Structure 1
Amino acid sequence: MESGVKTNGLTGWLSLALGLYLLLGSPRFVQGQNVCANPRFPGDFSVDKAKICVGSSVNIVGVPANLISAQYNFEYDGKSTIDKVTLAPTKAHTYSTPGSYTIIQSGTGNGAGTGTIFCKEVVVLPVDQVKFTVNVCSGRRAILVPDGSTLGQYDSYEIRWGDGTVERKTRAELTNQPAHTYSNSGNTVYTIALQGVYNPPADCKSTVSQSTPISLIGAATQPTISALKTTSDNTIDIDYQANTGIAVQLYQKVNGAYVSTGKTSTGGGTFTVQTDAKQVQCFQVVTQDACNSTPVKSDEVCSLVLDAKAANKQNNLSWQAYAGTATQFRFYRIRRNGVVNGQLTSRTTTTYTDANDITCGTQYCYSLEATVGPTTITSQQVCVNGINDGTPGDIEGVVVSIENNRPRIVANLPAASLSSTFTLVVSRASGSSGTYQQVGTLVNQNSFVDESADPAAGSYCYQLSYQSACGLSSKPSEPVCSVFLNSNSPKGIDWSASSPFTPSTVAEYIVEVIDSVNNTKREIRVSSNTHLDLTDADLESQTQKYRIITASSDGTVSYSNFYTFRSEVKIWLPDAFTPDGDGMNEVFLAKGIYLDQFRMTIFDRWGEVVFTTTDKQQGWDGTVNGQRALEGQYLYRIEVIDQTNLKTVRTGGVLLVRSKR
């Protein structure tokens, strides 16, 4: 019994070995051909799915009961001999890479003998994400836009819109960018998911791809142009309003039809358009979205082009009647130099005249505004220079005053006809009876300094005339004359009486005294007098500085030139002296006032110096070298420098007489 078993066992193994030899030793295996093709002894098995997805398992089923010792390789390369193939009894396998795979079975039995071979093909499908983007549209709509390069070979596609709605789409339907409208209740933010789906037998799905959270947009309302302003000859700014998140595009009318300008934005903002702004231009703001929703258009809004022309004493404005949506027109408003100058309520009114105080040469800048419903349309500003052929008004007042040692003339201009550009013509005469000659002009100024005049030489009288930008002149102003201060007497000062004011008159004169030592000032009111006698106190100093302040009836003041009153040096000398010792008239002594430096020299009849001194308190006692001088005539020379540094020389003769006792 044992040997029988052994014999049978040995016989089985020998048969298997022989089968393997015959199979593996055949020429086709030696040459590396696919052993799945026409195997000599076929095995048998099935798989639960001929198609699976990456990451799914394939399972071996349906192996005959009489096929024993079956082993498998799930990724047979189609060219290796069976002895080179790694086999294992495992009946399940998971693939990580998509592709077409051959499962090879090697076993014994199956009614066919030893060395059975059997193969099955299995397809492993990719599960790559299907990528997409989402366009959000008005009316709470979303459009799914797939990336065509990622659609793969899926049989269908499953969309989960995020609100509980799940839809299956064919490839064609997905390519057409499916849309979904969300209900008006619930969230406004959703996340959309997409998967590719394989039909049975694979019956699996791709990896899920998700959108970023999307925010829904409500129904689009009519956008509004809130302002249109022409800022230059070729630039128009358009302010607009639209729903948050709603995309809009600007359209412009060209040859009667609206065309896109290519300018787009979202929500509210400003469009700046380069165009011929010297012509009327019309615009609309139109909603747009990726869902091809019916666009909503704003009212038509058109620019205004203003023209201005100057005429005598008025400026004439004109424009084309507002060309935009007219049903909501409210009024035109005209601004002059930024200030409202007039308002018109009729849309068809196209002219306006401004005759409000137009002066010659003044620039007037105008803009036209139209208020149409919620929209304000503003034209570009235009400017003109006023024209006025009326004679300018009289200069209203003039004053002349000596400042910084020059006459300064200030005019009060004619307010009623004052223009922004004007000329003042200044004429001058030497004194009130002189002939007037032009000495200067002022452009857009009312103050003139006469650099060619010397106020210390005399009084200067002035007349001014006002000349407008149109070349029209006022009559000359009443003369005004600078006050000239000098001295016409040894102990007094005098000044000219012509008024430095017009039209006001002189109310009083004030003498300003400036101390020559400490520079302090004091004032002496002298009413309407034009002379002042100086007191002994005034004459204590050899020099004293004075100035006249002229006050008008309205409080205006004018200053004269400064004048320094100088007293001449005084020297007193005797004609004779008697140095005889009687105590009377013993010394020849010079006396004087305002003496600062002093030198006295005595000469005899032959011109010899007999005495000299620089001490003004010292005199000649009639001696020469300690000896009594002879009686007779002597000559003297006295040199004095006074307090004003002026040198004075006195010469003469003195008689020396001695008493006979």
Structure 2
Amino acid sequence: MKNFYRLFILLPALLLATLAPAQTCENTPNSGADFKVVDASTGTEISTLCAGREIRLVDNSGRQLDPSVVRYATGAAVTCTGSDFSTNALYTPSAADATRGFVVITQNTPQVVGASGIIFSKRLEVKASPAPTFTLTSCSADVVQVTITDQAYTANLYTVKIGNNVFPNVDRSQPRTFSVPAGSTAVTVTGNYTGNNQCSNSNTQNFTPAPAPSSPPVLTKLEVRDKNIVFDFDNIQPGFQYEIQVAEASAPGGYRTIASRISGSGIVRDYTVLNVPLPGCYRIVPSSACGAGLTTGLRGSPLVCTVDLFNTISLVSTSANGINKLEWKTLSPDINTFRIERTEPGVNPVIIATLPGTAPFEYFDNTASCGTTYTYQVTALVDRAASWSNKSSVTTAAGTAPQPPRLIASFTLSNKVELYATNAVGQPLPNELTFLRTSPTPVELGVVNAPTISDTPDNLSVVNPPVYLARRRDACGSISADSNPASPVVLSVNPQPEGARFTWSPLVGPDASIPVTYQLVRLALNGSTIDIIPVSGLSYTDTQPPTNQSTVRYRIEATGGGLAAASYSNLVNVTRQPRLAMPTAFSPNGDGLNDVLEVKGRFLSTFVFVVIDRNGQEVFRGTNRTQTWDGRINGRAPVPGAYAWRFEALTDEGKPFIQHGAITIVR
């Protein structure tokens, strides 16, 4: 606000260069008087003053005035008394100015002519800049809590500095926790005004970091009992307090404290918290000196999540056919293993199963006895910690008769029939199974607690293949209906001079509505597959058997018919005898024709070939087809005449093959 006044004073003309005390103040607009306010430290022109911070007043009228004739006065109003003015252009706003909120600065400058001076004033805002007040608490070794109690500065423009970490725009009156850089032991709070960087001030307080436990606590047990949880802890250190937290996404920092002021030494057992959130994940952490929940920087235990058996009523209803089904749920993704504990009347609890800590979270107890009530509890193991579920009881009960099994029959490489019983989706059945052969000779093969059994039927026939049935008995004694009839493929062979003709019986599988596809598999004697020939119908003639195999094994591979995997027929062998082709004479004369005696034929891989002279002496022995005789005896030239030979070998089936004859050396 600018005010212009004309000051009328009766002065001698020779005193025009100086100002006399004012008698009256009169508004004099458009006088041209002006001055500006400059911060004495920075030289920056300012419009708001800070208590205790010196300013400099500079004439800004544009006239070239001698500073000795420019006078200033300060106060709560415009100054009109000449004795109150001074040529001192420096001024430091006082606390009274800040309390009032403003100061009026009046400038008194001479006219160019005349005896009166010009009064020009400005009303300027004055702000206090006290050192801001705050409280400081060391929460832990690396966290402090700051509460700004100061009311002087703009509410949300405080700055907190700890070491090299600066936190701007901190609000007052609300406690705030801050991380402390290593080695820092002081907190500085600076107060600021909106739009004013001059009138700020700082306050520094030192602190001693609060001690922390040397190692984190361990949550070793978590057991759900109805709506409560019983905890066990380890590594609780004396002199410190701890709190239990539950993980909650909506809570500050992701955790909410449900119990505090826990203390002790070493192991703390059976600490019960009532009416806890279930299911949930929990941890124990050292309590902060700043209050529950403010645990930043303090090391706590890993999370341990509850394991809850659910739907106890449905467990009773699903206890059918002598099987008790358990289901549970957990929030933890880091479980190593689940342990299933079962208790029955008069018997101590026993661990009946240990399962991987992955889904599905279910277990089928098929060792229960009908009419017996069992109590189950599931334990989740995570590193050093364990989480116990609530206990759930169920009475094992019989239900409707179990579904009949699906039966599959197939021959093994040893020509035994192997029967395999599954449920409707192809899973093996663990309950008691009775296997029967209904034809050609009816017989009960056995009652077993396994899904498989084998049979060695006599006199296999394509026209009357063996047929099998199975039935199931559950733990409560209920017996299913018979399974589907199952009959493996029976293969027969009719050897021919060069090849063989095969016929076989049709496969009978679990689903007669699904077509069956057949393939003829050729195998070596060691059981390795030579090749596979797609065939149609129930017969096939092999006119081109492998030329390098004396004995070839055959079987039929059947797919379809409701089979989950292929079924195989019995094995049949087709053997072709070795063949030896020996000349009656040869002429080792070097003409390149019939100069050596060599073994020729088929399927002659391992043998002994011996030549004997007329005196009964062995003159040549060969064991493979690369060895030939040039007629020489001990390096001497061939001697014409007749010689005897003998050939001995074993067929692929291990039978002896022996031939002998005579050979003549001619010139």
Same fold (TM over 0.5): no
Instruction: With the length of structure 1 as denominator, give the TM-score of the two structures.
Output: 0.34
Instruction: With the length of structure 2 as denominator, give the TM-score of the two structures.
Output: 0.33
